[in-house]
Every structure is written in structure tokens, then in C-alpha cells.
Amino acid sequence: MKYSTMLLALASLMATSAQAQHTSMVSAGDPEGLVKALDDAGYDPVLGTDQGGDPKITMAFGGREGVILFYGCDESAKDNCDAIQFNVGFDRAKPWTAEEAIKLSTQFRFAATSLDDDGDPFIRWDVITGDGIPRKVFLRSVLAFTNLVADAEQIVFADE
């Protein structure tokens, strides 16, 4: 009898552990879960949709407005996304060159820089979440991108 009680207790503990791990995970497939994690961390996220109907979160990264875009979503249902992209733009008075954008990209790990039609730089950072990544890792990525935006802003506007 003791053996079966011990097995039952172990099974219960494993189920509780699995549930705790599940709730500490976030994924692009659950935009509301990402919003909750961001809100709990003190950000002010707003969930909406982009022009194509995919989820989109609008929020500030270091005082600069940006978005979290969702990728790999089901084409018709616009859900079950598997990746996100942090995206922030800088509106300069003078256009930047492709060389300046490339130089910025090489200075920051994970960041990609592009220019819009007016020569304004945009910084993007992709995160594949698949079925889920630890909430702590997601929030660490948000903080790292926020810090990157602050550092990049100094470079982008150094000559203005």
C-alpha cells in the first residue's frame, strides 16, 4: 500500500511540476499570454492586429514606441503563430545611408537594421517561440531589445 501511495504522490508532483512549467512558458501562438507577461513586467502593451489581420502588440521600448509583430501564423485563421519580431523605427531629419544601417546592424547582436523610403532606420529582432519559451527568457529578450534601442538611438541621432 505504501508503494502505491508513493507512486500516486510522485505522479501528482510530476503533474504539478509540468503545469508550473507550462504556465511559465510563453509563445507567439498565445498573444494574450505575451501581453500578460509584458503587463506583469511593468510594460504597457496593447494587443491589436496588423494590416494583414495577424496579431500585433504596440508598446514602448525604452520610451520609443514600437511593435511586436507575429509571424508563421495560420494564413486563414490568423492564429498559431510561431515567431515574433520586435520592431522600432527612428524618424531622422536627414536620411541615413545603407552603409550606416549596415554598420549599426554589425554593432548589435541579433539586431537587423533596414531603411524605409525616407532613409529612416528601423531595428528588428526576431524571436522564434515555437510551442513555447520560458517567460523569463522572453522578458530578458524584451529588456535586451529595449537596451539596444536606447543605445542605437544615441548612434542614430548623433549627428542631429
- pTM for the full model? 0.84
The predicted-structure confidence for 69-109, as pLDDT tens digits, reads as follows: 999 999 888 899 999 999 999 999 999 999 999 999 999 98
pLDDT of residue 24 exceeding 50: yes
Cα–Cα dist 109/118, whole Å: 25
pLDDT band for position 13 (cuts 50, 70, 90): very low
Beta-bridge partner residues of 87: 67, 124
Other C-beta atoms closer than 10 Å to the C-beta of 72 total 15
Cα–Cα dist 16/73, whole Å: 30
- Domains located in the chain, CATH noted: 26-156 (3.30.1460.10)
pLDDT of residue 142 exceeding 80: yes
Q: Which of 29, 27, 26, 70 is nearest to 48 (CA)?
A: 70
Beta-bridge partner residues of 46: 58
